[in-house]
Structure 1
Amino acid sequence: MTALEQQVSHAIRPFTVSFRKRALDDLRHRLAATRWPSRELVGDRSQGVQLATIRALGQYWATGYDLGRVQSRLNALPQFTTAIDGVSIHFVHVKSKHADALPLIMTHGWPGSIIEMLDSIGPLTDPTAHGGTAGDAFHLVLPSLPGYGFSSEPAEVGWDLVRTARAWAELMNRLGYDRYVAQGGDVGAGVTDAIGRLGPEGLVGIHTNLLVPALNDPSSLPNTTEEERAALAAIKVFQTTGNGYFVEMATRPQTIGYALLDSPAALAAWMIDHDTDAYDKITSAFVDGKPSGGLTRDHILDDITTYWLTGIGASTARSYWEAYGPDAPAAGRPLLPDPRVPVGFSTFPGEIWRTPRSWAEKAYPTLNYFGVAARGGHFAAWEEPELFAEEVRAAFRPLR
């Protein structure tokens, strides 16, 4: 490849979201034509998403929600694309007005997207307007995972967490950042864990709010204290009664993908059936009109609408097959060494399990921050953006 060809292939191009009217009209038509199942035969969510919840969501989506919100929210931000390893990566890049801001690449998960992080942009890039100081500022990079949102779908297998982490290192290099930190939750925690273990040049620290090693091999962690036993019990409950979506996407992503591309109601039900805390809060927002923090009806539908209009039901499911499927190398571990950089971790009370500090210390010998948040759950940046930003600031403050 010549120098000119390399320059063209590495180009960073501005991006604007534009949804066609016929796509919006088709969504409305499909919502109106939804074939609903009969009501569940139990009084809780043990059979899955409850009919009252999904019908309330569908009704608001069809008649009360502004389908132009996603386009407007994203186009108010600086967006770009660049091709890395055969995939067009979409990202939001917001530079702080503070010259000494620390570059931060932050990764979303499933069923999230960069939508779940939008309300944390202000607190992270402009901390003086949100109770922080200029010394807390970040230049923020929010990439869409391959096959998610406005990033293109991989055309070949092999896009596991480690390959994504390498792509993120390349992205930060292209942006000219020679010193940066990384953060992630859910699948994004796996990517962030992997980039910490890879230790690319320029990375000086990571922070996560989901202890990925605990999900991979909980039996390897201490279980002597009451707190540790409670966390193990919560993981067992999740693995036996709450991870149906995980198993299906990790083993048969193409099968579920057909439904997710054909029915917006099916897509919505699949996406909100993630964990009990998040499901209860989503139900409260739609059925009772009582949102939890930033987890409002509009914010929830911004994310689901993004999935529908970009047609990523199957490709996002395949990302679980790549990362956690039968042939996945334990999400990059134990093939990779312990992280080579300082690690920060924050636990939120509504998480699938409450991570004890002892677990974080065992998983990460370089742990240098452990935070216990007062509110929030699995989607912490989405639900409690201000509190989430405080945790991120505190975790990376020693590295400035």
Structure 2
Amino acid sequence: MRAEPFSIAIPDEDIAGLRQRLRETRWTPAGPYEPWQQGVDTGWLREFVQYWADGFDWRTAERRLNQQPQFIAQVDAQRVHFVHRRGVGPKPYPLVITHGWPGSFFEFYGLLDLLCDPAASGAQAEDAFDVVVPSLPGFAFSQAPAKPGTSAFQVADLWAALMRGLGYERFGAQGGDLGAGVSIALALRHPQVVDGIHLNFLPGTYEPSRAAGDAPLTEAEQEFLRAKDQWAALEGGYAHMHTTKPETLAHSLNDSPAGLAAWIAEKFRAWSDCDGQIERVFSRDDLLTNISLYWHTQSMGSAIRMYWENRLQPLRFTAGQRVSPPVGFARFPKEISRPPRSWLERTFDVVQWTDMPRGGHFAAMEAPALLAAEIRNFFRPLRR
């Protein structure tokens, strides 16, 4: 495998074209409802879009993105974009971190210093990591899959080949959202090279064995499944669309930057520990850096197709099937799904479990110091 250095350089005409589209947005009339009651608030979105058109400086964001070492590699038949940050310490431990939707590799920029150079923030230099943050296939600058079939399992195989190509014989994995599914698949399919996985989310497609002879569901597990169904009924419309008709939705999101901003920003508000004040947790510039990555790469359509693929290849376990590498889990209070420990223990060897004091679905952006400490603690005894 050959990895070539990569820098982001969006053409000037693309930036100008985006600004023109934003300024010419045809706005939907607001309805007679409370702000955010039926989705994104129109008043907030209009101000946000105006800032994107006239206040946000993509070139500043681009320089920030390019401060981290990025590469493009041909892994098997797939072109993969990734950040590869070397650790500062006596023996940095290799760790692959996988993002989800509607995030991107940018989610982890606030986490990289804490993991790669822990001594700079008062932690132990012995806890340093070599961190690899790939963009999922079809996200940002990673090539979209050329044929059907790329679910979390196939991405796990890609990541194992990527890490091997970078010279890592063994490594750990971390992830939330779609990245949690990839991390689980890595541990399931490549236990000979994966020392352990740390998660801050349990994918909705995860289903432990419930065969005859398995332990009956506990009261906490039953309540979790009820809450999961209720959430899916009230909040899961996006996921149902992604998993059933992604191509229909893709045309709208690829054509309208205002629509793209609405589709993504509403989730950052709803899924984070912000008490309804999205900009209390995420700056406009950070939100727009992430959204702009989808826009400038025209990757929303290929990104949401992964939901379709994961539906066809769910993380469903059979009787007696278990994941052998150890698992750590950080359960954040405002996460969209909060399984009990026993639900994971039906499949995983859970050696670290922490109920976090604050944070939500975008933990690496909301509470990077807390998440970094959890990751360091989990992998400390697994280092070779």
Q: TM-score range by the shorter chain?
A: over 0.9
1:40 CA displacement:
3.3
**2:233 aligned partner, one-letter code:** T
1:322 CA displacement:
1.1
1:191 CA displacement:
0.4
Which one is further off, 299-308 or 332-341?
332-341
In the alignment, which of 114, 128, 138 is matched to residue 137 of structure 1?
128
CA gap 1:266/1:284 in 2 versus in 1, 3 angstroms: same
Deviation track 1:163-198 (CA, whole Å, cap 9, x = no partner) reads 000000000000001121000100000100111111
Q: Who is 1:157 aligned against? A: 148
Deviation track 1:105-153 (CA, whole Å, cap 9, x = no partner) reads 0000000000111110000001112231112111100000000011111
State the number of aligned residues: 379
In the alignment, which of 346, 355, 360 is matched to residue 362 of structure 1?
346
CA distance in 1 between counterparts of 2:288 and 2:208 reads: 34
Q: Who is 2:302 aligned against? A: 315
CA gap 1:336/1:239 in 2 versus in 1, 3 angstroms: farther
Q: Does 1:291 align with 2:280?
A: yes
1:45 CA displacement:
3.4
CA distance in 1 between counterparts of 2:276 and 2:308 reads: 28
**2:246 aligned partner, one-letter code:** P
1:229 CA displacement:
5.1
Which one is further off, 353-362 or 329-338?
329-338
Deviation track 1:246-279 (CA, whole Å, cap 9, x = no partner) reads 1111111111110111010111111123376436
CA RMSD of aligned residues (A): 2.2
* Correspondence 1:59-138 to 2 at 5 A: 59-138=50-129
Q: Who is 1:349 aligned against? A: 333
In the alignment, which of 355, 358, 361 is matched to residue 375 of structure 1?
358
Q: Who is 1:207 aligned against? A: 198
**1:348 aligned partner, one-letter code:** F
Q: Does 1:301 align with 2:281?
A: no
CA gap 1:150/1:63 in 2 versus in 1, 3 angstroms: same
**2:230 aligned partner, one-letter code:** V
> Does the 8 Å CA contact 1:70/1:305 hold for their aligned counterparts?
no
CA distance in 2 between counterparts of 1:131 and 1:40 reads: 51
1:222 CA displacement:
6.8
**1:138 aligned partner, one-letter code:** F
Q: Who is 1:231 aligned against? A: 224
> Does the 8 Å CA contact 1:169/1:200 hold for their aligned counterparts?
no
1:94 CA displacement:
0.4
**1:301 aligned partner, one-letter code:** L
1:54 CA displacement:
1.6
1:70 CA displacement:
3.3
CA distance in 2 between counterparts of 1:211 and 1:222 reads: 20
User: What is the SS of the residue equivalent to 1:142?
Assistant: strand
**Structure 2: unaligned runs, 5 residues or longer:** none
User: What is the SS of the residue equivalent to 1:96?
Assistant: coil
User: What is the SS of the residue equivalent to 1:341?
Assistant: strand
CA distance in 1 between counterparts of 2:200 and 2:226 reads: 19
Q: Does 1:272 align with 2:256?
A: no
CA gap 1:131/1:336 in 2 versus in 1, 3 angstroms: farther
**1:242 aligned partner, one-letter code:** E
1:223 CA displacement:
5.4
Q: Does 1:329 align with 2:313?
A: yes
Q: Who is 1:397 aligned against? A: 380
CA distance in 2 between counterparts of 1:146 and 1:336 reads: 31
CA distance in 1 between counterparts of 2:97 and 2:272 reads: 24
**Structure 1: unaligned runs, 5 residues or longer:** 1-9
> Does the 8 Å CA contact 1:113/1:148 hold for their aligned counterparts?
yes
**2:50 aligned partner, one-letter code:** Q
> Does the 8 Å CA contact 2:327/2:352 hold for their aligned counterparts?
yes
**1:237 aligned partner, one-letter code:** Q
Q: Who is 2:44 aligned against? A: 53
**1:205 aligned partner, one-letter code:** G
1:215 CA displacement:
4.9
Which one is further off, 67-76 or 135-144?
67-76
**2:381 aligned partner, one-letter code:** P
Q: Who is 2:12 aligned against? A: 21
Q: Who is 1:148 aligned against? A: 139
> Does the 8 Å CA contact 1:86/1:154 hold for their aligned counterparts?
no
CA gap 1:64/1:276 in 2 versus in 1, 3 angstroms: closer
> Does the 8 Å CA contact 1:30/1:263 hold for their aligned counterparts?
yes
User: What is the SS of the residue equivalent to 2:277?
Assistant: helix
Q: Does 1:250 align with 2:239?
A: no
Runs (4+) of structure 1 exceeding 6 A deviation are: none
Deviation track 1:266-323 (CA, whole Å, cap 9, x = no partner) reads 11111123376436839624xxxx522xx22111111001110111011011111111
**2:250 aligned partner, one-letter code:** G
CA gap 1:129/1:234 in 2 versus in 1, 3 angstroms: farther
CA distance in 2 between counterparts of 1:370 and 1:254 reads: 38
User: What is the SS of the residue equivalent to 2:346?
Assistant: helix
